[in-house]
A and B are shown apart, each in its own frame.
Chain A
Amino acid sequence: MSLLTLREFGVARHQCDVLRNVELTIDSGEMVGIIGPNGAGKTTLMRGALGLLAHRGESSLAAMTPRERGRAVAWMPQAREIAWPVDVETLVMLGRSPHMGLGRRPTKTDHDAVARALDRMDLTGLRSRTATQLSGGEQARVLIARALAQDTPLLMADEPIAGLDPAHQIATMQEFASLASEGRSVVVSLHDLGLAARHCTRLIVVDKGRVVADGTPVDVLTQELIRDTFGISAFVQTTPEGLVVQPMGVVP
């Protein structure tokens, strides 16, 4: 089942095309990585698809009512904002608000979803701590848990693993992959090509406002593409452990 469809999709800002001619479909069970250099349009692609930016063409998510969209997709923006010193559990519970009626008493389903999300992000021990007093990486995990608690078929996250320690980077990517294996889909932007190669089932490469490649990591992450798009050389090899990509140096 298609969770997101973009047709002839583009975003313009100040009469200047930031993103153009994007055609893509995200089906269920996919773990999609969006990669590309800084300023390529990764965030614009995601925010535009969500209907948070004025856009041209069609986006199945942007066409929904705000309430429907809140149940169809969870979005974790790049800016990790926690405005008030609320406790972790309260913050994660915010992810349940698209599911709650106006009476807004959390039901058992809501509490269960929050407990599951906290458990997935290894936060159960921190549940009653004040979110603003946690470290940056812990806050990032709390915000991922918030998005997980929303319990939507599609999860979109903008650089969710930036600033996490290696163990939590890998654990987070594995959690996303396990969501995908449960039949949900995850779309994440990231800069770590090694993690992208290892954990994603599909990679979409964005460069200068266009999608320049879209496919499995093995097909997409060739040395030519890495050189042309990122301007770096890389060690790329398929091993028994899977695809290994290690950036080596900047190509002059």
Chain B
Amino acid sequence: MRLAVTLIALVAVLFVAALVTGPADIGPFESLLALIAGGEGPMPLVMREIRLPRALLAVLIGGSLGLAGAAMQGYLRNPLADPGLIGVSGSAAFGAVLAIQTGLAAAFALGLPLAALGGALFGVFAVLVLAGPRGSSLTLILAGIAISALAGAFTSLVLNLAPNPFAANEIVFWMMGSLADRSMTHVWIALPLILAGALMLATLSRGLDALTLGEDAAEAMGISLRRLRLTLIFGTAAVVGASTAVAGAIGFVGLVVPHLLRPFVGSRPGALLWASTLGGAAMLLAADIAVRIILPARDLKLGVVTALVGAPLFLHLIYRTRRDGL
């Protein structure tokens, strides 16, 4: 309960902080007033068309990655699992890269996110076919790794065959992940998918708790593993696919946040779902504020910052795990 209040307060504070941070020189109170009151002039425009979608996307995508990471770790009973494991982010990135390469992204505004969603859909379909409707978590991991590797190889191929350095540059920068220059349109693309996926993943709470005892015991306690697995795959695909489509590949949030919050929920995988959602939103909001404060003049990429923060954090967690002798 205290954790919930703390995390919600943290997200709220960071959300407001994200709204008042930016290159446009506006005071915090004026900017919030402009956001709420609206009116004519550049200030409401900056607030409503630039900062608001950026902050909203940070909450949506951070929450998505945290939630999907917690669900994936709970299902695989492995603290090193990551939402990218089932190949969705890799194949979404490939779809996006293809859109940049073919000029689809330049031709119309929604070309890139839609191509990325198409890639994600294709990736999920391939994983489902490979892993089969029944079967253990192992086949799911193997299928996910195979699809990730394949998507990665195709992405490299596109980079390899890029007609000029500028095209390659654009692709590389997109893949680092960013929330800069996103509009409310991006919010409206991502929102329905993320909401639907998050609702699906939220229903897994009890099943994931039961899986603490292993697949056999969980199934005997009335959990349909087949349904749980399908819900997990489609839910993760929806939230991660939509996130990658809008923001590019942002790593480490789905891996580190569940790991970090696990001790605070007594290691219960079901309770970790909501905690990780809030934690992920907070982490991405903080990272996106950092991006704008540290190097405002250079376009620092969000995925770079989450990796820079996430990797050392992860090293610390490994150290702590070793110290506890687990």
Interface residues of A (CB under 8 A from B): 47, 50, 52, 66-71, 73-77, 79, 81-87, 90-91, 94-95, 97-98, 102, 104, 132, 143, 146, 150
Determine the distance from Cα of A52 to Cα of B222 in the docked complex, in whole angstroms: 11
| B77–A94 touching, CB < 8 Å | no
- List residues of chain B with CB within 8 A of the CB of A98: 221-222
* A95 (CB) vs chain B CBs: closest residue: B221
| B220–A94 touching, CB < 8 Å | no
Q: List 28 A-B contacts (CB under 8 A).
A: A50-B220, A66-B219, A70-B220, A74-B220, A77-B216, A77-B217, A77-B220, A81-B77, A81-B213, A81-B214, A81-B217, A82-B213, A83-B211, A83-B214, A83-B269, A84-B212, A84-B267, A84-B269, A85-B267, A86-B212, A86-B266, A86-B267, A90-B268, A91-B212, A91-B213, A94-B209, A95-B221, A132-B326
Q: 6 tightest CB-CB pairs across the interface, nearest first?
A: A70-B222, A81-B214, A75-B220, A83-B77, A84-B267, A77-B216
| A85–B326 touching, CB < 8 Å | yes
* 0/1 interface trace, chain B 196-233, chain A, CB 8 Å (1 if under): 00000000011001111110110111111000000000
| B214–A76 touching, CB < 8 Å | no
- List residues of chain B with CB within 8 A of the CB of A146: 213
Partner of B223, one of A50, A66, A73: A66
Determine the distance from Cα of A47 to Cα of B215 in the docked complex, in whole angstroms: 12
Partner of B77, one of A47, A50, A84: A84
B172 → chain A, closest Cβ, in Å? 38
Determine the distance from Cα of A100 to Cα of B216 in the docked complex, in whole angstroms: 20
- List residues of chain A with CB within 8 A of the CB of B209: 94, 97
Partner of B266, one of A73, A87, A97: A87
B166 → chain A, closest Cβ, in Å? 48
A147 → chain B, closest Cβ, in Å? 8
* B207 (CB) vs chain A CBs: closest residue: A97
* B227 (CB) vs chain A CBs: closest residue: A66
B136 → chain A, closest Cβ, in Å? 13
- List residues of chain A with CB within 8 A of the CB of B224: 66
- List residues of chain A with CB within 8 A of the CB of B222: 66-71, 97-98
Determine the distance from Cα of A6 to Cα of B286 in the docked complex, in whole angstroms: 60
* B78 (CB) vs chain A CBs: closest residue: A83
| B221–A79 touching, CB < 8 Å | no
A169 → chain B, closest Cβ, in Å? 21
| B220–A52 touching, CB < 8 Å | yes
Determine the distance from Cα of A95 to Cα of B210 in the docked complex, in whole angstroms: 8
- List residues of chain A with CB within 8 A of the CB of B212: 81-84, 86, 91, 94
Known: A81-B217, A97-B209. 20 other contacts (CB 8 A): A47-B216, A52-B216, A52-B219, A66-B219, A66-B222, A70-B222, A75-B216, A76-B217, A81-B212, A82-B212, A83-B211, A84-B268, A86-B266, A86-B268, A97-B206, A97-B221, A98-B222, A104-B205, A146-B213, A150-B221
Determine the distance from Cα of A139 to Cα of B222 in the docked complex, in whole angstroms: 23
* 0/1 interface trace, chain B 172-206, chain A, CB 8 Å (1 if under): 00000000000000000000000000000000011
- List residues of chain B with CB within 8 A of the CB of A79: 214, 216
Determine the distance from Cα of A74 to Cα of B224 in the docked complex, in whole angstroms: 15
Determine the distance from Cα of A102 to Cα of B219 in the docked complex, in whole angstroms: 17
| B221–A77 touching, CB < 8 Å | no
A53 → chain B, closest Cβ, in Å? 10
Determine the distance from Cα of A230 to Cα of B77 in the docked complex, in whole angstroms: 38
* A147 (CB) vs chain B CBs: closest residue: B217
- List residues of chain B with CB within 8 A of the CB of A83: 77, 211-214, 269
- A68, A94, A143: most-surrounded residue (chain B CB, <10 A): A94
B324 → chain A, closest Cβ, in Å? 9
* A93 (CB) vs chain B CBs: closest residue: B209
Determine the distance from Cα of A73 to Cα of B205 in the docked complex, in whole angstroms: 22
- List residues of chain A with CB within 8 A of the CB of B262: 84
- List residues of chain B with CB within 8 A of the CB of A94: 209-210, 212-213, 221
A144 → chain B, closest Cβ, in Å? 12
- B206, B210, B212, B326: most-surrounded residue (chain A CB, <10 A): B212
Determine the distance from Cα of A248 to Cα of B155 in the docked complex, in whole angstroms: 67
